[in-house]
Amino acid sequence: MRIALEEAGMAGKEGEVPIGAVLVLGGEVVGRGRNRPIGLADPSAHAEILALREGAARVKNYRLPGSTLYVTLEPCLMCTGAILQARVGRLVFGVEDPKGGAVSSLYSLLEDPRLNHRVEVSSGVLREECRELLQRFIIC
């Protein structure tokens, strides 16, 4: 999660919403991402999507079973869908997003029994550090 916080800090310095993500597989970081929709002029350039893209390219497979995705903010609906499509094994996030979180706040997509993949979820990891980074961005 500390690496995800570093990515989030870089996003903030670039004028993006400071959200970072790191994908780990077999104990190795295989993907990193930070929010870049403004800089890339791409509405899908969320931290999670970029980390998943890098990881999939690195392991040469669009499916990432057994992987863990660390994210500073609860993923949105788009990113949660990508997590499901990639078959990520575990999601760890720092702070809940009551305005757009699709894991536990606004939606509970990963708990839908109609879906054919289950993701283990841990929340609140480095919650205060993640929250402070987002609050500093919003205040500035």
Q: Which run of H or of E encompasses 22?
A: strand 20-25
- Of 38, 6, 47, the C-alpha closest to 133 is 6
- Of 114, 105, 54, the C-alpha closest to 75 is 105
CA distances from 76 to 3, 56, 101 (A): 20, 20, 5
Annotation says 6 is catalytic: no
Write down the catalytic residue from 7, 48, 74, 96.
48
Task: Concatenate the DSSP letters of all residues of 61-77 into one string.
Answer: -S--TT-EEEEEE---H
Q: Which residues are catalytic?
A: 48
